[in-house]
Chain A
Amino acid sequence: AQSVTQLGSHVSVSEGALVLLRCNYSSSVPPYLFWYVQYPNQGLQLLLKYTTGATLVKGINGFEAEFKKSETSFHLTKPSAHMSDAAEYFCAVSMRRDDKIIFGKGTRLHILP
């Protein structure tokens, strides 16, 4: 069965610094991969996703992620953190023939002034 591991339940970065949130998946075949963001007291919203094609995926709010099959990773990055990026970020995976989408445990991103 597929699974997702997010390294670090909390990550703190200074405003203007690089954001790097790590995600590794476990799957026998390349899955579809997603990053969702959750702001306080809200539901999750899609940040970006990888299905096929280009392995570097750009999303909203300046975020991007790169699918690396050899490393079974889909890390999320943003060159320069903004205070408004403070939220919880979830990596998720679904198999190509399956409807189920499985989420990691999430990483809370703190932005330091």
Chain B
Amino acid sequence: DARVTQTPRDKVTEMGQEVTMRCQPILGHNTVFWYRQTMMQGLELLAYFRNRAPLDDSGMPKDRFSAEMPDATLATLKIQPSEPRDSAVYFCASGRGTVAGNTIYFGEGSWLTVV
């Protein structure tokens, strides 16, 4: 079964540390999305890419967050420095072409706790 793979599944880190989350999209998918899920805010779109180019990262705190796609098989989301308010589940999703009308597929998430 093709699926989106995220690492790490769980991460506990101390405030101020750098955190890097990785995502391997489904082979052949050219759009990648990063979402953050919290109890208070629900699912927030942080950034998305098409053909490795960032199309929209307006939902991402620019001072500490960065998202990149070094190649078509890897997307990264980095937080530096991390803060307790960054504690959340971070989901990566991928799709083929434009998402309009097409399904996007989610990974199982990276559970981040910043203490």
Where the two chains meet, the residues of A that have a C-beta atom closer than 8 Å to any C-beta of B are 32, 36, 41-46, 49, 51-52, 90, 94-106
Is the CB–CB distance between A32 and B91 below 8 Å? no
B79 interface contact, C-beta 8 A:
no
C-beta contact mask, B36-77 vs A, less than 8 Å → 1, else 0?
000001110100101000011000000000000000000000
15 inter-chain pairs at a CB distance below 8 angstroms, sorted by A residue, are: A32-B100, A36-B106, A42-B109, A43-B91, A44-B43, A44-B91, A49-B103, A94-B100, A96-B101, A99-B31, A99-B99, A101-B104, A103-B43, A105-B41, A105-B43
Residue of A44, A45, A46, A99 touching B98 (CB-CB under 8 A): A99
CA distance A16 to B71 in the complex (A): 49
B108 interface contact, C-beta 8 A:
yes
C-beta contact mask, B78-115 vs A, less than 8 Å → 1, else 0?
00000000000001010000111101111111000000
List 16 other contacts, CB 8 Å, given A45-B105, A94-B99.
Answer: A32-B101, A41-B108, A43-B91, A43-B109, A44-B106, A49-B103, A90-B43, A94-B100, A96-B100, A96-B101, A99-B56, A99-B100, A100-B45, A101-B99, A101-B104, A102-B45
CA distance A113 to B43 in the complex (A): 30
Is the CB–CB distance between A101 and B42 below 8 Å? no
Q: How many A-B residue pairs have CB under 8 A?
A: 63
B contact residues, total (Cβ < 8 Å): 25
- A interface, over-half SS: loop
Q: Which residues of B contact A42 (CB under 8 A)?
A: 108-109
CA distance A100 to B33 in the complex (A): 9
Is the CB–CB distance between B33 and A101 below 8 Å? yes
Is the CB–CB distance between A100 and B56 below 8 Å? yes
